[in-house]
Structure 1
């Protein structure tokens, strides 16, 4: 599917990336096809890249849209944000969304533990 590669270029993704690991989102309903998970509902096994799906027979499992309605959103563990902004700040911009969650909520947990420990002072 050359249109998927063109979509990756227009989305600002690195064309040297392995397109087999990229996720695709349905523009009609928001369903995300992740090749690591597949789609059990329609019998697509895990590990099947979006580009290997039959364009004539594959439909979105939620809204039944054709393959052309899907947009490349990149790999799963890609840092969020614009490429030119990843080097700003204290390096936090280069973290994946999951790593940012651990950093934020871990900081909250430490702050709560610190403030609760103040009750032990006399």
Structure 2
């Protein structure tokens, strides 16, 4: 979470904050933060028993969803997004899309998947 919080700390608009979050995903894809992509997804895959990390993983994803949700709420307050969208549902959609495209980008060793999802998210929500 530190990487995400640090990335958005000096950003003003919702789009700037989203772009900062997206750039963390790019850095994860390129192994600039940690080797092997997203540490949260790696832990889920490694801990099939769900005995050791489940609470920590759930809390981390909860915080990340809330971070994205807060960006969507800023957009709503600034009338930059349709008012009838539910911020939590949008945040879950965005996070799921970014995590999935990160997995594809890592698998195919091509961050085009992240960029394609980023383009669609921006067209839909920003």
TM-score, normalised on structure 2?
Answer: 0.23
The structure richer in helix per residue is 2
